[in-house]
Chain A
Amino acid sequence: AQSVTQPDIHITVSEGASLELRCNYSYGATPYLFWYVQSPGQGLQLLLKYFSGVTLVQGIKGFEAEFKRSQSSFNLRKPSVHWSDAAEYFCAVGALNAGNMLTFGGGTRLMVKP
């Protein structure tokens, strides 16, 4: 069975600082990996996705993530955080052979200090 672990429940960074959110997955085949962001009271918005090929993927809002098969990781990064990035971030692994069914990690809540 597939699973996703986000080790950090909360992270606080200063505005302008760099950010890395960790994600580790377990999946029996080549994974399809996603990062979503959820602002309070809102649905989930896709930030970026990895299907195959280039392991460093670019997303919206200046985010990027790197797939590392040897570490079973798909960490999300941003060089300079803005106050508007404060939200909850979810990593997910998808099973394309099951209609894209996604399994989510527990989420990381990002707080940004001025």
Chain B
Amino acid sequence: DAGVIQSPRHEVTEMGQEVTLRCKPISGHNSLFWYRQTMMRGLELLIYFNNNVPIDDSGMPEDRFSAKMPNASFSTLKIQPSEPRDSAVYFCASSLQGRGEAFFGQGTRLTVV
């Protein structure tokens, strides 16, 4: 398996624009997580899906952030409108419920100018 695949790897956008980050989890995994990593706040869990259903989105910072998982092999994280303080590295991870360990993608480095 190719692991968790995220795209794009880097994104630079202007304030106010819509940004969509994409994730393909490992085949067969039924849990998917979106994390954000910043110097100030470290690794924060934004949202977690189980069997394509959002279970806990308490980490989503504002209504500008939304996430979807239309099927078991694809998820998106959207920021609309984007702001400079959204600049961070966004990681997607997947796991098989009951097995514990999560596997991370390479991340998307988002810069909002």
Closest to B45 in A: A101
Contact check, B55 vs A100: say whether CB atoms are below 8 A apart: no
Residues of A near B102 (CB, < 8 A) are 46, 94, 100, 102
Interchain CB contact (< 8 A) of B31 among A34, A100, A103, A106: A100
Task: Say yes or no: A96-B56 contact (C-beta < 8 A), given A43-B91, A43-B105.
Answer: no
Task: Say yes or no: A43-B107 contact (C-beta < 8 A), given A98-B55, A100-B95.
Answer: yes
Contact check, A100 vs B45: say whether CB atoms are below 8 A apart: no
Provide the main secondary structure of the chain B interface. strand
In the complex, A63 has a CB within 8 A of chain B:
no
Contact check, B45 vs A44: say whether CB atoms are below 8 A apart: no
State how many residues of chain B have any CB contact under 8 Å with chain A.
25
CB B103 to nearest CB in A, in angstroms, measures 7
Residues of B near A102 (CB, < 8 A) are 33, 45, 93, 102
Contact check, A90 vs B43: say whether CB atoms are below 8 A apart: yes
In the complex, B111 has a CB within 8 A of chain A:
no
Contact check, B56 vs A98: say whether CB atoms are below 8 A apart: yes
Closest to B109 in A: A41
Contact check, A101 vs B48: say whether CB atoms are below 8 A apart: yes
Binary CB contact string for chain A from 72 to 92 against chain B (1 if under 8 A, 0 otherwise)? 000000000000000000100
